[in-house]
Amino acid sequence: MKTGTHLPRRHFLRLAGGAGALSWVTACDRLKDLKASLPLGPGADTLAPFKTPSGSGPDLISHTLNRLTWGAAPGEYARVSALGSTPEDCLERFLEEQLHPEKIEDPVTRAALARLEAVREPVTELFEYKPSQLDSELTRAAVIRASHSRRQLYEVMVAFWSDHFNIDSSKLDCRWFKTVDDRDIIRKHALGNFRSLLRASALSPAMLFYLDGRENKHRTAGDKPNENYARELLELHTLGIHGGYTQGDVMEAARCLTGWTVTGREVKLGIGRVFFEAAAHDDGAKSVLGQELSAGGGPEDLDRLLAVITAHSSTAAFIARKLCRHFIADEPPDPAVEKVAAAFHNSAGDIPETLRALFRTEEFRTLRGDKIKKPFHFIVSALRATGSATSCGTGVRRALQIMGHAPFHYPTPEGPPPSGADWLATLLCRWDFASQLAGGSLKCTRTDTAKLTACAGGRDGLLRHLFGRDPDTAECAAAGSVNSPLALALASPAFQTF
Confirm if 157 and 358 have CB atoms less than 8 A apart.
no
Note whether residue 93 is domain-resident: no
Strand-pair partners of 483: none
328, 358 Cβ separation under 8 angstroms: yes
Tell me which DSSP letter residue 185 carries.
Answer: I
260 is in which domain, residue-wise?
210-311
Mapped onto helix, strand or coil, the DSSP state of residue 482 is coil
Evaluate whether residue 114 is within a structural domain: yes
CA distance 50 to 298: 60
Q: What are phi and psi of 180, to 5 degrees?
A: -70, -45
Residue 433 lies in a domain: yes
Look up residue 64 and give its amino acid.
Answer: T
* Selection from 6, 165, 1, 118 nearest residue 490 by Cα: 6
Handedness of CA 233, 234, 238, 240 (dihedral sign): negative
- Where helices occur in 222-299 by DSSP H, the ranges are 228-232, 247-257
Tell me 8's DSSP state: P
Same domain, 231 and 280: yes
Q: Which residues pair with 262 in a beta bridge?
A: 274
Look at the chain and report how many structural domains it folds into: 3
Listed residue (307, 303, 332) closest to 319, CA to CA: 332
| 201 within a domain of the structure (yes/no) | no
Pairwise CA distance, residues 110 & 82, whole Å: 26
Sign of CA dihedral 232, 238, 243, 247: negative
| Residues paired with residue 372 on neighbouring β-strands, in sequence order | 497
Element (H, E) at 286: strand 286-288
Q: Based on the domain organization, do 223 and 174 belong to the same domain?
A: no
Of the candidates 302, 294, 349, 354, the residue with the CA atom closest to the CA atom of residue 326: 354
Distance CA 447, CA 435 (A): 12
Q: How far apart are CA 76 and CA 61, in angstroms?
A: 10
Whether residue 45 is found in the same domain as residue 127: no
- At 77 the pLDDT is 98
Same domain, 381 and 271: no
- Domain shared by 399 and 488, yes or no: yes
The pLDDT of residue 45? 58
Whether 167 and 240 map to the same domain: the answer is: no
**Burial (CB count within 10 angstroms: exposed 0-12, middle 13-18, buried 19+), residue 122:** exposed
Q: Are residues 24 and 111 in the same domain?
A: no
For the chain, the farthest-separated pair of C-alpha atoms sits apart, in whole angstroms, at 78
What string of DSSP letters covers 195-227? HHHHHHHHT-HHHHHHT-GGG----STTPPPP-
DSSP 423: G
As a whole number of Å, the CA-based R_g of the chain is 24
Candidates 466, 456, 459; CA nearest to 498 is: 466
- Nearest alpha carbon to residue 424 among 444, 447, 407, 404: 404
Last residue of one domain, picked from the residues 190, 218, 235: 190
Q: Are 181 and 207 in contact (CB under 8 A)?
A: yes
Q: What's at 69, amino acid-wise?
A: T
* pLDDT by position in tens, the chain (length 498): 333 344 444 444 344 433 333 222 222 232 233 333 344 444 445 799 999 999 999 999 999 999 999 999 999 999 999 999 999 999 999 999 999 999 999 999 999 999 999 999 999 999 999 999 999 999 999 999 999 999 999 999 999 999 999 999 999 999 999 999 999 999 999 999 999 999 999 999 999 999 999 999 999 999 999 999 999 999 999 999 999 999 999 999 999 999 999 999 888 789 999 999 999 999 999 999 999 999 999 999 999 999 999 999 999 999 999 999 999 999 999 999 999 999 999 999 999 999 999 999 999 999 999 999 999 999 999 999 999 999 999 999 999 999 999 999 999 999 999 999 999 999 999 999 999 999 999 999 999 999 999 999 999 999 999 999 999 999 999 999 999 999 999 999 999 999
Query: Among residues 361, 377, 367, 364, which one has the least CA distance to residue 417?
Result: 377
> In b/e form, how buried is each residue of 56-81, taking b as 16+ CB within 10 angstroms?
eebbbbbbbbbbbbbbbbbbbbebbb
The 10 Å Cβ neighbour count of residue 421 is 12
Instruction: Evaluate whether 445 touches 28 at the Cβ level (below 8 Å).
Output: no
Residue 224, in any domain of the structure: yes
pLDDT of 139: 97
CA distances from 250 to 18, 364, 439 (A): 45, 35, 53
In a domain, 330, yes or no: no
Q: Coil, strand, or helix at residue 249?
A: helix
410 and 461, same domain (yes or no): yes
Q: Are residues 487 and 449 in the same domain?
A: yes
Task: Look at residue 196 in the predicted model and tell me its pLDDT.
Answer: 98
Predicted pLDDT of residue 4:
38
Residues 233, 164, single domain; the answer is no
Q: What are phi and psi of 293, to 5 degrees?
A: -115, 115
Q: Which residues contact 173 (CB under 8 A, 6 or more apart)?
A: 205, 206, 209, 264, 265
Same-domain status, 435 and 463: yes
Q: Of 288, 311, 334, which residue constitutes the final position of a domain? A: 311
Torsion of the alpha carbons at 454, 459, 464 and 465, rounded to the nearest 10: 40
Cα 2 from chain centroid (whole Å):
38
Choosing from 269, 294, 311, the residue where a domain stops is 311
In a domain, 331, yes or no: no
CA dist., res. 466 & res. 457, Å (int): 13
Confidence (pLDDT) at 107: 95
Residue 267 is predicted with a pLDDT of 87
Cα–Cα distance for residue pair 61/71, rounded to 1 Å: 12
Residue 444 lies in a domain: yes
pLDDT at 269: 84
Residues 174 and 272 in one domain: no
